[in-house]
Amino acid sequence: MTDHTAIITGATRGLGYECARALLERGDSWHVVLAVRDMERGRDAASRLGDAARCTVMRCDLASLDSVRSFVAECRKADVPPITALVCNAGLQVLSQTRSADGIELTFAANHLGHFALVLGLLDELARPARIVIVSSGTHDPAKRTGMPAPRYTSAQELAEASADPGEPPETAGRRRYTTSKLCNVLFAYELDRRLGHGSKDVTVDVFDPGLMPGSGLARNYAPWQRFAWRFVLPLMRVLPQVHSTRASGQRLAALVADARFAGVSGRYFDGLKDVPSSSDSYDLEMADDLWSTSEHLCGLRGPVGGTGPAAELR
């Protein structure tokens, strides 16, 4: 008996695919919606998962708000079991300044804004109790010394316009846009948790840090030698605490979605399955409010979150 549906973005490979696999392996209770940009790759992923009856492939390009709107509308009509989980996993890292279909800086658009529109668009479609898990990264926290440039949060409008880039080399600026987008993920999750009453409305919101995952696809825009190291050298370092296989991290992510021990746990940051503090900036209420209000404006959203009426309505 299939009782639950989890929507997973970026599920054609890497962490999202392994999360889908882990949920399906838990027995017949889970159905997964693979929210993907490329339908052909999505159908291939569903085939490799080996349980077509419990997989639905739907197009969702997070770098296009029109695509997100279409996905939300399709989900509302989809013949799937009750939706009880949203896994905001998809992410990209680009080393050149690129714009989305809506003219927004691509990293900010795909890693934060598309998920913001998706979550608020589907909030009232969730069957309670429900869980939202947003995938971030340890790179959002400069105290962790990950080797990535520290986030630089100026304002959400400047991030969307990429108008505050400090004239760094393109690769450095691109990586900094990535780490800043990962900070935005945490700011969004915590603000959503606050607006939903810290789980009191039967929707929990948590953040997942999967650690460093060689083979995740984030290095696809790197130089050839860097891609080689990402694919063949870094896997040899899995003995280190923060280096994990996508399979292991996918299982941990699925645990946050499905395990009874995390029921009612909300507003927390999980390094794997360990509840730990996030960066100091991630608790900044002014940053969170700025990010929320600007994201609402950019997405054309209205309506109170957590009220008795629609949580958010896409215009």
Q: What residue spans define the domains of the chain?
A: 4-304
3-state secondary structure 193-253: HHHCCCCCCCEEEEEEECCECCCCCCCCCCCHHHHHHHHHHHHHHCCCCCECCHHHHHHHH
**pLDDT in the model for residue 163:** 83
Domain spanning 4-304: which superfamily? NAD(P)-binding Rossmann-like Domain (3.40.50.720)
- Structure tokens of 40? 């052909």
**In the structure encoding, which two tokens stand for residue 271, read together?**
């390094």
Give the active site residues.
178
- Give the integer Cα–Cα distance in Å for 70 and 63: 13
pLDDT at 167: 80
Query: Which SS3 state, helix, strand or coil, does residue 83 take?
Result: strand
* pLDDT tens for the chain, residues 1 to 315: 679 999 999 999 999 999 999 999 998 999 999 999 999 999 999 999 999 999 999 999 999 999 999 999 999 999 999 999 999 999 999 888 899 999 999 999 999 999 999 999 999 999 999 999 999 999 999 999 888 999 999 999 999 998 876 788 988 999 999 999 999 999 999 999 999 999 999 999 999 999 885 654 554 454 443 444 434 344 444 444 556 689 999 999 999 999 999 999 999 999 999 999 999 999 999 999 999 999 999 999 865 664 433 444 443
* Predicted pLDDT of residue 128: 97
